[in-house]
A and B are shown apart, each in its own frame.
Chain A
Amino acid sequence: AQKITQTQPGMFVQEKEAVTLDCTYDTSDQSYGLFWYKQPSSGEMIFLIYQGSYDEQNATEGRYSLNFQKARKSANLVISASQLGDSAMYFCAMIPGYSSASKIIFGSGTRLSIRP
């Protein structure tokens, strides 16, 4: 079964601290893509970072990095030096397989709140 699991419904973190958002996935496909999106209260879905299943190095984009542990099927998002503007809902997602028919699968999300 294709599935994304985010076990943290909500997190509170002090400003400037690093934060790790957990994500595990399940797929029988050898090729897949993993994504993280941020959804602020205004509603738009903002793409943050991508990791391909064959990528050997962890993806990084500015303050975002993806801790990809393939054997454990985990793709945790790490935000370094958190900012107040990081407060939002975060969704882990996966596109299994590399066909045009593949649909993106979302986790249930983690609501991150940054305290000043």
Chain B
Amino acid sequence: GAVVSQHPSWVICKSGTSVKIECRSLDFQATTMFWYRQFPKQSLMLMATSNEGSKATYEQGVEKDKFLINHASLTLSTLTVTSAHPEDSSFYICSARGPANNQPQHFGDGTRLSIL
């Protein structure tokens, strides 16, 4: 079945560092990719939607200069947390979907980001 690969799975870094998270669709072309943030014991919160070759659409309240999203190809999207601070510590999970909405949206395994 379709697989989405997310890397890295765990990051610990110092405050002020920029962190890049990669999301790849391995066996299908992801026309749309999504980035979510999940706080403990809560549901997923959509941060942004990206379509290949165009700028990401950010949800209200999400700083686009803080969370840079690049979707350069149909199989790769990246999320860069710029100048990360402790409040950015969270679980980030990407998701990818093909062109038809009756296909499931597949998720990466997530990235646990800890900023010291």
Contacts and interface: CB of A to CB of B under 8 A. Distances in A.
Given A43-B91, A43-B112, A35 B44 contact: no
Q: Contact residue range for chain A? A: 20 to 34
A28 interface: no
A62 to B, nearest CB: 13
A64 interface: no
A75 B47 CA distance: 26
B68 interface: no
B61 interface: no
Contacts of B108: 44
Contacts of A108: 42-43
Given A35-B105, A98-B102, A106 B110 contact: no
B32 interface: yes
Nearest to A9: B41
A109 B42 CA distance: 8
B46 interface: yes
A91 interface: yes
B102 A107 contact: no
Given A43-B112, A104-B34, 13 more contacts: A33-B102, A42-B109, A43-B91, A43-B93, A44-B108, A45-B95, A47-B105, A95-B105, A98-B100, A98-B102, A100-B51, A103-B46, A104-B105
